[in-house]
């Protein structure tokens, strides 16, 4: 079927042109204005030689330009590649090379980092596009890049035509998620999958065109882009958009704009509560509160409920976001549950052969349906491991009760989540293994009151060597993102090993009380 996600802004500009699409840092933008800018950048991209199937990467804070490039790419059949702006230069470089990026759009605050890697990536010299941020200290557009505002201003706002028809099964985006081997994997999401995801999310929240949604999630995340921004704009509702997350501002925006749907990750809710602002504002406009991201303690659920915010937990991942959500009427009765599978997703607890296990028995959480990813970009072997006969292995362990409500027990893989960000220890271990004073290292996630989880490194030093946690952090700086740094370290004489020479992380987790 010839259709694409880019038609969202086209249709909205026709149906509700004067309705506010989003409010960015206090400035409203209506659907006609949004679509006009989307079309201008689409014509600009065509003029630069971009065509169906080309990859357009962005390294942007939350901003209107992010959404404009996203929908413009969709209208041309190009593949949108949002990059995590918290990554270090080598990590960004890897993802640009792996995706085969044809055009790179970046915010001015990342100019120095982009300059340090641009000679090693195969992006044409005329295909670096500079976007001005709100920072007064940000640098001016460098000579080797084009200024976004200047290059699109003279282009037509008429609807663009792709060079080839766009099919619903064509790739829409590549969203990178770290792999257990340390190599990031690009989850390929199609236009088709995104449409079904939108339907599912709107049903979860009973979303209407008059809703005002507050969620300061980064748009580069699957949650921010596919579980928040895309369905809100499709429904013709209004999105409250800030360039970054500020907990006090979040609470103030909730009251100022009378938000009806509010979404934040567990760590974000912790920071919001710590400001004390929720005790000072009127939250009566809110009818839906979503969240999750890591295990949410009952104390946090209770703290929000006391302030009139009843959190509905959910479950999803980059490969299949927004798979489940706890119905509002079951918040107290099924406390701790991640809810029921969405209308467009089938989920069950399986044994190693994908057979469904009885209620109460722990197994792998697996799923299938029209919302799951197509596969991993240029990684057929990894795709085959993750998707078997159309069934996606989420990598999480859980169970469901007699009524069909799901609960997470632990992660089958070694990944842990800190502040809502996935961290795969193997990626950091690989970097530390190159340290001249380290013989061996293993990292696991351990509970943390502030971030949900954080990393602990178990390190064997070379004979005669001494090392501190601060020196480990110094070594990691610029090689991996700071949120991946282990915040604890223990120096050992030896690590528990299997007969085949693999580290037995299960023993390290048991030592830390991680198994429950």
Q: How far apart are CA 182 and CA 354, in angstroms?
A: 26
Residue 164 CA, chain-centre distance (Å), reads 30
Share of the chain above pLDDT 70, in %: 96
Does the pLDDT at position 302 exceed 80?
Answer: yes
CA dihedral 132, 134, 139, 144 (to 10 degrees): -10
Cα angle value 384/386/392 (rounded, 5°): 120
Query: What's the alpha-carbon Rg for the chain, to the nearest Å?
Result: 23
What integer pLDDT is reported at residue 142 of this predicted model?
96
Please check whether residue 75 lies inside any domain of the structure: yes
Note the pLDDT tens digit of each residue in 77-100.
999 999 999 899 999 999 999 999
Q: What angle do CA 485, 486, 488 make, to 5 degrees?
A: 145
Please report the pLDDT score of residue 515 as a whole number.
44
% of the chain at pLDDT higher than 90? 79
Q: What's the whole-number average pLDDT of the chain?
A: 92
Residue 490 belongs to some domain of the structure: yes
Confidence of residue 434 (pLDDT cuts 50, 70, 90): confident
Tens of pLDDT, residue by residue over 164-197, are 999 999 999 999 985 444 578 999 999 999 999 9
Q: Could you give the number of structural domains in the chain?
A: 2
3-state SS track over 62-106: CCHHHHHHHHHHHHHCCEEEECCCCCCHHHHHHHHHHHCCCEEEE
Residues 366, 369, 371, 375, Cα dihedral to 10°: 70
Residue 507 lies in a domain: yes
Q: Is 292 left (phi over 0), alpha (psi -120 to 50) or beta?
A: left
Note whether residue 194 is domain-resident.
Answer: no
Q: Could you tell me the pLDDT band of residue 237, with boundaries at 50, 70 and 90? A: very high
Q: Has residue 469 been placed in a domain?
A: yes
User: What are the pLDDT digits (tens) for 461-470?
Assistant: 988 999 999 9
Q: Nearest Cα to 76, choosing from 226, 199, 191?
A: 191
Of 489, 407, 502, nearest in space to 446 by CA: 489
- The rounded distance, in Å, linking the Cα atoms of 232 and 290 is 14
CATH number at residue 458: 3.30.300.30
User: Rounded mean pLDDT of 374-391?
Assistant: 95
Element (H, E) at 427: helix 425-432
- d(CA 350, CA 365) in angstroms, rounded, equals 6
Q: Is residue 195 part of a domain?
A: no
Model confidence over 242-295: pLDDT tens digits?
999 999 999 999 999 999 999 998 888 989 999 999 999 999 999 999 987 556
pLDDT level of residue 49 (50, 70, 90 thresholds): very high
Q: How far apart are CA 352 and CA 423, in angstroms?
A: 25
- Alpha-carbon gap, residue 186 to 174, rounded angstroms: 5
Report which of 429, 38, 418, 22 is spatially closest to residue 240, judged by C-alpha positions.
22
- In this prediction, residue 396 carries a pLDDT of 86
Q: What is residue 35's three-state secondary structure?
A: helix
Contacts of 264 (CB under 8 A, 6+ apart): 215, 216, 217, 250, 272, 290, 291
159 belongs to a structural domain: yes
Instruction: Output DSSP code: residue 298.
Output: H
Which of 282, 261, 225 is closest to 70 using CA atoms?
225
Note whether residue 327 is domain-resident: no
Backbone φ and ψ for 271, nearest 5 degrees, come out as -65, -40
Q: Identify the CA nearest to 498 among candidates 488, 511, 485, 507.
A: 507
Q: Which of 108, 138, 167 is the last residue of a domain?
A: 167
Helix (H, G, I), strand (E, B) or coil at 368: strand
Task: Express each pLDDT in 110-156 by its tens digit.
Answer: 999 999 999 999 898 889 999 999 988 889 999 999 999 999 999 99
Report pTM. 0.87
Q: What is the CATH number of the domain that holds 51?
A: 3.40.50.980
Last residue of a domain, one of 167, 189, 212: 167
Last residue of a domain, one of 167, 198, 218: 167
Domain around 99: 30-167
Pairing of strands 452-461, 438-448: antiparallel
What gap in Å lies between CA 482 and CA 490, rounded to an integer?
A: 19
Is the pLDDT at 43 greater than 90? The verdict is yes
Identify the band that residue 296 occupies on the pLDDT scale cut at 50, 70 and 90. confident
Quote the CA–CA distance of 348 and 367 in Å, as a whole number: 6
């Amino acid at each position: 079927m010839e259709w694409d996600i880019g038609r969202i802004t086209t249709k909205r500009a026709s149906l509700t042109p004067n309705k506010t699409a989003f409010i960015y840092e206090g400035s409203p933008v209506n659907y006609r204005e949004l679509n006009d800018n989307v079309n201008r950048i689409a014509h600009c991209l065509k003029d630069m030689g971009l065509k169906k199937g080309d990859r357009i990467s962005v390294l942007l804070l939350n901003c209107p330009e992010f959404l404009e490039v996203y929908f413009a790419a969709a209208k041309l059949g190009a593949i949108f590649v949002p990059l995590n702006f918290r990554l270090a230069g080598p990590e960004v470089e890897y993802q640009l090379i792996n995706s085969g990026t044809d055009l790179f759009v970046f915010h001015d605050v990342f100019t120095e980092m982009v300059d340090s890697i641009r000679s090693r990536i195969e992006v044409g010299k005329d295909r670096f596009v500079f976007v001005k941020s709100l920072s007064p200290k940000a640098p001016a557009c460098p000579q080797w890049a084009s200024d976004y505002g200047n290059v699109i201003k003279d282009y037509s706002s008429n609807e663009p035509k792709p060079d080839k028809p766009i099919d619903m099964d064509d790739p829409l985006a590549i969203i990178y998620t770290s792999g257990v081997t340390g190599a990031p994997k690009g989850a390929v999401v199609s236009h088709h999958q995104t449409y079904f995801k939108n339907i599912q999310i709107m049903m979860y929240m009973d979303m209407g065109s008059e809703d005002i949604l507050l969620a300061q999630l980064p748009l580069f995340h699957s949650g921010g882009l596919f579980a928040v921004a895309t369905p809100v704009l499709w429904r013709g509702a209004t999105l409250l958009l800030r360039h970054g997350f500020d907990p006090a501002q979040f609470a103030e925006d909730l009251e100022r704009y009378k938000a009806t749907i509010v979404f934040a990750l567990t760590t974000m809710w912790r920071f919001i509560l710590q400001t004390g602002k929720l005790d000072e504002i009127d939250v009566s406009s809110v009818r839906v509160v979503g969240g999750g991201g890591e295990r949410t303690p009952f104390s946090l659920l209770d703290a929000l409920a006391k302030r009139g915010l009843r959190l509905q937990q959910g479950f999803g991942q980059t490969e299949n976001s927004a798979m489940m959500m706890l119905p509002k009427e079951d918040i107290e009765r099924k406390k701790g549950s991640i809810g029921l599978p969405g209308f467009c997703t089938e989920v069950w607890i399986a044994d190693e052969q994908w057979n469904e296990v009885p209620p109460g028995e722990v197994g792998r959480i697996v799923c299938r349906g029209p919302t799951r990813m197509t596969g991993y970009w240029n990684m057929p072997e990894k795709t085959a491991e993750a998707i078997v006969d159309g069934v996606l292995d989420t990598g999480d362990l859980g169970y469901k009760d007699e009524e069909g409500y799901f609960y997470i027990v632990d992660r089958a893989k070694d990944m842990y989540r800190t502040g809502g960000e996935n961290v795969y220890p193997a990626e950091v271990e690989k970097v530390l293994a190159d340290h001249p004073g380290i013989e061996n290292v293993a990292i696991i996630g351990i509970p943390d009151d502030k971030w949900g989880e954080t990393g602990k490194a178990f390190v064997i030093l070379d004979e005669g060597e001494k090392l501190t946690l601060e020196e480990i952090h110094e070594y990691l700086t610029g090689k991996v993102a700071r949120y991946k740094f282990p915040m604890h370290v223990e120096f050992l004489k030896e690590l528990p090993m299997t007969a085949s020479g693999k580290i037995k992380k299960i023993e390290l987790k048991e030592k830390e009380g991680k198994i429950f």
